[in-house]
Amino acid sequence: MDNFLAYPLQDLPYVIVTLLIAFTIHELAHAWVALLFGDDTAKNEGRITLNPLKHIDPIGFIFVIIAGFGWAKPTPVNAYKMKHRRVGSVLVSLAGPVSNLLLAFIGVGLYFLFLQMDVAYSQIILPFFNLFVSLNVILFIFNLLPLPPLDGYQIVSEFLPLKWRLKVQGYENYALLFFLILVITPLSKYTISPIFNTLIPWITGEMASFYYFVFQI
């Protein structure tokens, strides 16, 4: 069975719980920041909620478990409703990945806390937070890649001159195919994987150093 899954079978409960939290907070962050800038589109569709059912795309969820990458329901955003449209668009796009980074930061803190407390069931709690942190850092990095349909692409496109932006939009469908090739083919070993292999240990290491210092005080 493990051969058909991106994660070991024993880790699936941790993965499922983590994804429910991470996807929900990610999309909620998009919706909430959009509302702060005057766009109530997501609010009107009931997306400012902690209910995972409003944010989870079943197919995208299953893809994460099987293929190691997937997606939630995109948060509807109408940039033309926003005050300060360009700034608003950038911050709305950043909100999702940043929320995953914050979740990872909280997860590292809880890991250290439970490690210090030596609580019962630590053999369940500590592996959960270890995976929770890793997946949220992955989502943070992954979503900032400047490729459609990721948040990083939305951020970069806001800084392009209008002429270039319109030209790039004409190639978005091809860019999506290019993105899938990078993710699901052996090319990922030479393109995306080095990014993750470098940034994940560095980010989690910096977070761990912070909490190590805090708990030593």
Residues belonging to the active site: 27
Task: Please list, in sequence order, all residues whose beta carbon lies within 8 angstroms of the beta carbon of residue 46, skipping any fewer than 6 positions away.
Answer: 54
Question: How far is 183 from 179, CA to CA, in rounded Å?
Answer: 6
Question: How far is 181 from 183, CA to CA, in rounded Å?
Answer: 5
